[in-house]
Chain A
Amino acid sequence: MNLVLDPVMLVLIIPAVAAAVLALLPTYTLAARINVGATFLTFVSALGLFFIPERPDGLLLIDDLNIVFIVLTTFVGFTTSIFSSGYIAHELEVGRLTPLYLRFYHAMYQILMFGMNLALIANITGLMWVAIELATLTTVLMVGIYRTPEALEAAWKYFILGSVGIGLALFGTILVYVAAQPVIGEGLDAMRWTVLLANVAQFDPSLLNVAFIFLLLGYGTKVGLAPLHAWLPDAHAEGPTPISAVLSGLLLNVALYAVLRFKILLAANGQAITPGPLMVAMGLTSLVFASFMLYRRRDIKRLFAYSSIEHMGIIAFAFGMGGPLANFAGLLHMTMHSLTKSAIFFSIGHITRIKNTQRIADIGGLTESHPTLGWALVVGVVAIAGLPPFGIFTSEFLVISSTFSREPLLAIPLVLGILVAVGALFMRLNGLAFGEPIGPVTPNRMSYLPMFAHFLLVLIAGIYLPAPIVAWFQNVAGMLG
């Protein structure tokens, strides 16, 4: 196939070229538009992936599993870039960022998209590792972009914990290679997903066990699973809000995707430990821990960062339970969480811009002063708390009901964690959205479009999931075992 028209190459080439262009471009209004344009084109090429045959060999891999992730990533990347153009223009106005930093910011945004797409598309375990490291590094730089002591602290913590995680993941990757090498032979084939999966039954199971523990701890750090989550709230709170949206909505998913790939491998081996219980344990710990931590938050971005840990816990739990229904629920929950959480961060971006603070105590009565924004936040919190009629209700319901039917005892902490989180979120929402307005009430000039688009999708998914999507997810759920 022609290289230029191949969507697989396009989702990598467009961000790479855009990054180079944006790094050289001095005017920021044009840069913001190019950023939006490039992410849009990437999204369109990602949609093109549906129309090409699976490619099982080579350096890049396209199968039903990663298409879901790629389309989600490029879509949220696109909407976030629209939000980002308005947000960043304001940051320039108030002087928090200089044009030079903005140039850097836009180039980094595209490199981040490139890194995430590469990680999702790579057929080589080592290549995926390098791509995730690249994505981590760019987000570290973006978290620290304001250069305040808090931002630097957050970036440093993220850097150190992320690097340790990445290091552990590499050790796991090497161990998988060592397990594969006697069977497949030396060279790149022993790192190819497709070849690994075909031959995994003959691998040494005990070596795979140890490898998976390192991989789960390493990539789990990046997913934000407790007890390795310490970087996550700081990184979300101190970086620019569009980056919080991309971190929560996308990068956590990419790391989770890496864990899932290795989980498929272990499940196919047959003799190795079932990775499920480990993921269930980490997921439940994250869920319960984060739910209780939600009560003590005073910072609005930190509040929703902990909510991300909670939801990643639910997703890891669902995938850990395994089986067609729980996997389906996990996939749906991941998609819905990405859309909802990034939309919430968009609304928080508007709110912090108007109120000029992130402290929850200094924000209040939003439905009085800014009805559209205030009610949008209410909608967002209702959606993220898992109430009907939104998509997260569907997925949480599926997770809980499948758990009740198989492991009723595990369902108790699961339901408890979710309920505790709901309580915390509504307690905070009450002050934020209702009552007397607190703080400045200047009108908002930025576009609400990306936020509403996300909420609309989540609402539609909650009411009616189209049959082709259900079939697709069911197929992927089957792959995950």
Chain B
Amino acid sequence: MDSFALDVSHLLAGSLVLLSFMMLYQARMLGLVNVFALHAIALVLAILWQAYTQNRPTLFVTATIAMIMKAVVIPIALRRIVIQLGVHRTIETVVGIGPTMLAGIALVALSMVVMLGVTSESDPLAREDLALALSVVLLGLLMMVSRRNAVTQVIGFMSIENGLILAAAGAKGMPLIVEISVAFSVLVAFIVIGIFLFRIRERFDTVDVQALDRFRGERGG
């Protein structure tokens, strides 16, 4: 593969990491949903570029699914849910923005060290793509643990999923990508429907031990 193709795929994968960071410091829910839509579009571009350079038509299907589901349908649905549930003002954080960003930088450094260290023999595309994909996955995990709201958790989960699809698209000739992205889409659709139907506003955990015991039916006795 020539170096131009490599550079473009790194640029696209790198922009996903950058957008993951942007999601970490969003203070408003609607802003977060918008950044997530951008994240999905960056993913679609990255998949399309892989489809073109690796000459694999099945990746176009994956890109189409990602475009329709993650860049259009889910953000619109989330927008409506956020407004209906009245949680669009602010995002409750468990940890402050500053420490979260620092933790994010540490995670990216970690994934670079781990992946570039172990994949020295593989081809450069798979290797650096995997490192960036792992960064996206870890940043998504960080987002899930550092935010309280159910919708933010879902967005965190979907950005993990974007990272995984990025890794799968970068792995040369990996089969079953379409099936995997369909499986993920079903999963995400269920989550979003679940939030909508049951009006899940917050993650249920709380520092109030009494409330926790009540939830678990373990008070007294």
Contacts and interface: CB of A to CB of B under 8 A. Distances in A.
Interface of A: 124, 126-127, 129-130, 133-134, 137, 140-141, 147, 149-150, 152-153, 155-157, 159-160, 163-164, 166-168, 170-171, 174-175, 177-178, 181-182, 185-188, 190-191, 204, 206-207, 209-210, 234, 237, 296-299, 302, 358-361
24 contacts: A126-B180, A129-B180, A130-B176, A153-B215, A156-B200, A164-B141, A164-B144, A164-B160, A170-B180, A171-B133, A171-B134, A171-B167, A174-B174, A178-B119, A178-B171, A181-B173, A181-B174, A190-B173, A191-B175, A204-B118, A298-B217, A298-B219, A302-B216, A358-B217
B152 to A, nearest CB: 12
A130 B175 CA distance: 13
A288 B181 CA distance: 38
Given A137-B187, A174-B167, A207 B174 contact: no
A135 B167 CA distance: 24
Nearest to B119: A207
Given A164-B141, A170-B168, 15 more contacts: A140-B190, A159-B191, A160-B157, A163-B191, A164-B144, A167-B164, A171-B137, A174-B130, A178-B122, A181-B126, A204-B122, A207-B118, A207-B122, A297-B218, A302-B216
Interface residues of B, number: 49
A150 B215 contact: yes
A157 B206 CA distance: 13
B179 A187 contact: no
Contact of A167 (B137, B150, B200, B221): B137
The 9 closest A-B pairs by CB, nearest first: A186-B173, A361-B221, A206-B118, A126-B176, A298-B218, A298-B221, A153-B204, A188-B175, A167-B160
A101 B130 CA distance: 43
B158 to A, nearest CB: 10
Nearest to A182: B122
A293 to B, nearest CB: 12
Interface string B176-191: 1001100100110011
Nearest to B218: A298
A306 to B, nearest CB: 12
Contacts of A207: 118-119, 122
Given A159-B191, A178-B130, A359-B217, A187 B118 contact: no
Contacts of B167: 171, 174
Contacts of A234: 216
B67 interface: no
A429 B114 CA distance: 49
A299 B187 contact: no
Looking at B153, B163, B180, the one whose CB has the most chain A CB atoms below 10 A away is B180
A171 B134 CA distance: 8
Contacts of A190: 173
Interface string B193-221: 01000101001100000000001111111
B2 interface: no
Nearest to B120: A206
B190 A175 contact: no
A14 to B, nearest CB: 23
B89 interface: no
Looking at A166, A191, A302, the one whose CB has the most chain B CB atoms below 10 A away is A166
Nearest to B195: A156
Nearest to A189: B175
A16 B190 CA distance: 21
A127 B179 CA distance: 9
A160 B153 contact: yes
A146 to B, nearest CB: 12
A129 B175 CA distance: 13
B179 A137 contact: no
A153 to B, nearest CB: 4
A149 B204 CA distance: 10
